[in-house]
Structure 1
Amino acid sequence: MPEGAHAHVQSGESLLFLTDEQLRKGIEAMFFAYRGFTADPDRILEEYGYGRAHHRALHFIHRSPGTTVNNLLAILGVTKQSLNRVLRTLIVDGLVESRVGKRDKRERHLFLTEAGDALERKLSDAQRARMRAAYRAAGPEAVAGFRQVLEAMMEPELRRHFKRLKDSGS
């Protein structure tokens, strides 16, 4: 085994035996990173009187145009009542369009309007800029490791949703 590879394996193995203090630092880093990740979109959302639930709905409707309300419920893990409040606001404000299903008239399919698409782009541009800067600073190995850690933390059902989105390639 090359000398550098041995050192890499040793450092990787040492990560399998993290102390509570090291885990606490990781948890705290995640809290503060999340605050940074959501800060820019929060400021934009505030201008509209919206919250993070609106952002999440816009994001996932953008990622899967025509998604059903039930699919969005499964992805977001919120109550039907909570999601309906968010969707009602987005529809009334002209950001989301709800269409009756062609095969099943009980289904509602969700699409962003032009205005909804513009707001979603503004929100995601802010987050992409922050992610791009962080990824560049950390380097490709750290990025790959970060993604592995995030996926390993996901509940199995959410990992399936994530995989479907990732595999859709859009």
Structure 2
Amino acid sequence: MRPVTQAARTRPAPIPDAANEDLREAGDAPSPMDQGDAAEAPSYDLIELLFFAYRDFVADPDRILAEYGFGRAHHRVLHFVDRHPGLTIAELLDILRITKQSLNRVLKELIEQGYIAQRTGTSDRRHRLLTCTPDGRALAQRLAGVQGERVRRALAEAGPALRDPASRFLLAMIEPEERPAVSRLIAGGGPDSKVKP
């Protein structure tokens, strides 16, 4: 943990937008000098909404994964291997951005428990191609089902006009140079059409 500097100790905490509105109504709004440049102020409301949305988005599959003694890393591996049968370990590492050591532990458990199968590549025997077994596919589909249902409920509540703007917003949150590859991956390109996300 980083030590707290004197400047950090004396700097006032930013006031959330809702609190600023209450203060403005009361006539005690902080001056622009106190708040700094509004263009540089973090969007705390959106940051926190993303945090809470993600928390609840992963809570449903977390409960299912606990039944199997699995965690979120297992879920991510199952998801992408199910979506892209024949994925290589190198491609999976590129997608997940984790170390080979971290992936090996999770992958070993999924293989030993019969959720993922691996076979040697035909064009390059050094490649290990990953596919879900029927049990792995069923689990991946069950996890995607609860998350898909949450997304459908949210879109229905927010209105159908939000789907495209929401997709564009989430894509814009991704680093610009990564967006084309992520878009292709999401579109379901097969193993031969994959590029590094």
TM value normalised by structure 1:
0.84
**Counterpart mapping for 1:139-150 below 5 A:** 139-150=159-170
Aligned position for 2:41: 20
- The number of aligned residues is 153
Distance 1:108 1:156, change over 3 A: farther
What SS class does the counterpart of residue 129 from structure 2 fall into?
A: strand
Aligned position for 2:101: 81
String of CA shifts for 1:43-71, please: whole Å, max 9, x gaps: 00111111101000000001100010000
Distance 1:120 1:67, change over 3 A: same
What SS class does the counterpart of residue 60 from structure 2 fall into?
A: helix
Amino acid at match of 1:56: R
**Counterpart mapping for 1:21-100 below 5 A:** 23-100=43-120
CA contact (8 A) 1:63 1:165 kept: no
Aligned position for 1:117: 137
Which ranges of structure 2 fall in alignment gaps of 5 or more residues? 1-37, 191-197
Q: Offset of 1:156 from its aligned partner? A: 3.7
CA distance in 2, matches of 1:148, 1:35: 21
Which ranges of structure 1 fall in alignment gaps of 5 or more residues? 1-16
Amino acid at match of 2:113: D
Higher relative contact order (CA 8 A, sep 6+): 1
Structure 1 or 2: larger helix share? 1
Distance 1:92 1:157, change over 3 A: farther
What SS class does the counterpart of residue 187 from structure 2 fall into?
A: helix
CA contact (8 A) 2:74 2:110 kept: yes
Amino acid at match of 1:149: F
CA distance in 1, matches of 2:134, 2:123: 26
TM value normalised by structure 2:
0.73
CA contact (8 A) 2:116 2:133 kept: yes
Distance 1:89 1:44, change over 3 A: same
CA contact (8 A) 1:62 1:112 kept: yes
Alpha carbon RMSD of aligned pairs, Å? 1.8
Aligned position for 2:154: 134
Q: Percent identity at matched positions? A: 49
